[in-house]
A = this chain, B = another copy of it.
Amino acid sequence: MIKVFIIDDHEMIIQGIKSLLEDDTEIHWTGSAKTPADLWRHLKSNKPDILLMDINLPETNGIELCSKLSELYPDIRVIGLSSSDQPSIIKKMMKNGAKAYLLKDASKHELITAIKKVMKGEAYVNYTVSEILKHNKPERSLPVLTRREKEVLELIADGLTNTEIAEKLFLNVTTIDSHRKNMITKFDVKNTAALIKLAVSEKLI
């Protein structure tokens, strides 16, 4: 029997996956957790073979949790689970010890296949995910904001002008202007409006 445990903050998904796995005779459901604290508590008395882990956990993020887990319990195989198909996140998860990665639109069949494959020691990535990773070779990963840039960008987004920002940060206006121009260039957008849209929608600020 493959002992499976799940951590996800959404009760609906926990119960959903539980019933998806119930039919299978090889899989044994050992429980679920909604928070990392719950998880640690359960692991003391009950070590699963496989841990299904939602990445979008509130508070702690799945990536850190994943690496901590593979330190403390290297035998537990982690399968990442998320609704987002952000390549960067998936990559980070795989680097931090996840053996497989599924999107939440994966089917029952796919879920079970993934669990069994991982149990055999194989890796598993669903088609969509592998496509994402593949197409991501010419990775259009977003430029990274430096500390100062982020600071300036947040103030721009709050409606301050270069002059006002300069006063606030005790800098020269031209400096702020440089940062603004740099950001517009590095993100390859046409103006501030587009920059803000990108930054907000990509959660850079």
> Contact residues of A with B, CB < 8 Å?
9-13, 15-17, 19-20, 22, 34, 83, 103-108, 111, 156-161, 189-194, 196-197, 200-201
Closest Cβ of chain B: how far from A163's Cβ, in Å? 12
Report Cα–Cα, A78/B38, bound state, in Å. Answer: 34
Contacting A13 at CB < 8 Å: which of B9, B104, B193, B194?
B104
A-side interface mostly: helix
Selected A-B contacts with CB under 8 Å, 21 pairs: A9-B105, A11-B105, A12-B13, A12-B16, A12-B17, A12-B20, A12-B104, A12-B105, A12-B106, A15-B16, A15-B108, A16-B20, A34-B105, A159-B189, A159-B190, A159-B191, A159-B193, A192-B193, A193-B193, A193-B196, A196-B200
For A20, A104, A189, A193, the residue with the greatest tally of chain B CB atoms inside 10 Å of its CB is: A193
A20 close to B15 (CB less than 8 A): yes
Contacting A11 at CB < 8 Å: which of B22, B106, B158?
B106
Report Cα–Cα, A16/B158, bound state, in Å. Answer: 39
Report Cα–Cα, A17/B176, bound state, in Å. Answer: 51
Contacting A194 at CB < 8 Å: which of B10, B17, B103, B158?
B158
What residues of chain B lie closer than 8 Å to A34, measured between beta carbons? 105
What residues of chain B lie closer than 8 Å to A10, measured between beta carbons? 83, 103-105
Report Cα–Cα, A92/B107, bound state, in Å. Answer: 31
Report Cα–Cα, A201/B203, bound state, in Å. Answer: 9
Closest Cβ of chain B: how far from A31's Cβ, in Å? 16
